[in-house]
């Protein structure tokens, strides 16, 4: 599911928050960036961070929250992993990807690309799903999320 995550970092001016695309592999969450990215600069100074992911579907009464905290590392670009991350958001058919976006923003083979890796030291989950109009639309654990 192409959910967005929010990456929270710290700097001298205080906390910062950035929406990020992500993928979960090898017991870690991986987020894209580049060597000049502001999140990368902040994490190089203070690697402590938090990542929050929220699934919200008002019509189905779903509100799920996952929080992760720990110490992140900034890793060199791994084109194969980056490609899988992009597929999650852009689809598996790479011929349909916007060539401008891939050529200017999300260059898979760019040596300045970086991946932010967080192997969480703690997790926080919260299911605050609710009844929208009654039990027929309520979501509870065990029910499909789609």
Q: Domain residue spans in the chain?
A: 5-137
**The model's pTM:** 0.85
Q: What is the pLDDT of residue 135?
A: 53
CATH topology of domain 5-137: Pnp Oxidase; Chain A (2.30.110)
Residue 131's pLDDT band, with cuts at 50, 70 and 90, is low
| CB atoms closer than 10 angstroms to residue 140 | 11
Tokens in use for 12? 């001298």
Q: How far apart are CA 145 and CA 86, in angstroms?
A: 22
Give every CB contact of residue 134 below 8 A, 6+ residues apart in sequence.
none
Question: Residue 6 above 60 pLDDT?
Answer: yes
Taking a C-beta distance cutoff of 8 angstroms, is the pair 144, 62 a contact? no
pLDDT in tens, 69-124: 999 999 999 999 999 999 999 999 999 988 888 887 777 778 888 999 999 999 99
Q: Mean pLDDT of all residues in the chain? A: 88
């Amino acid at each position: 599911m192409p959910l967005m995550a929010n990456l929270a970092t710290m700097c001298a001016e205080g906390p910062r928050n950035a929406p990020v695309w992500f993928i979960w592999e090898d017991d870690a969450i991986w987020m894209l960036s580049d060597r000049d990215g502001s999140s990368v600069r902040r994490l190089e100074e203070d690697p402590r961070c938090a990542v929050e992911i929220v699934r919200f579907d008002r019509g189905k009464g779903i509100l799920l929250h996952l929080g992760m905290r720990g110490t992140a590392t900034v890793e060199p670009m791994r084109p194969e992993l980056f490609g899988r991350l992009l597929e999650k958001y852009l689809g598996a058919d790479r011929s349909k990807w916007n060539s401008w976006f891939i050529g200017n923003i999300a260059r898979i083979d760019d040596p300045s690309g970086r991946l932010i890796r967080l192997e969480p030291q703690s997790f926080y989950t919260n299911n605050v799903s609710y009844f929208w109009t009654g039990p027929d639309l309520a979501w509870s654990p065990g029910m499909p999320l789609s």
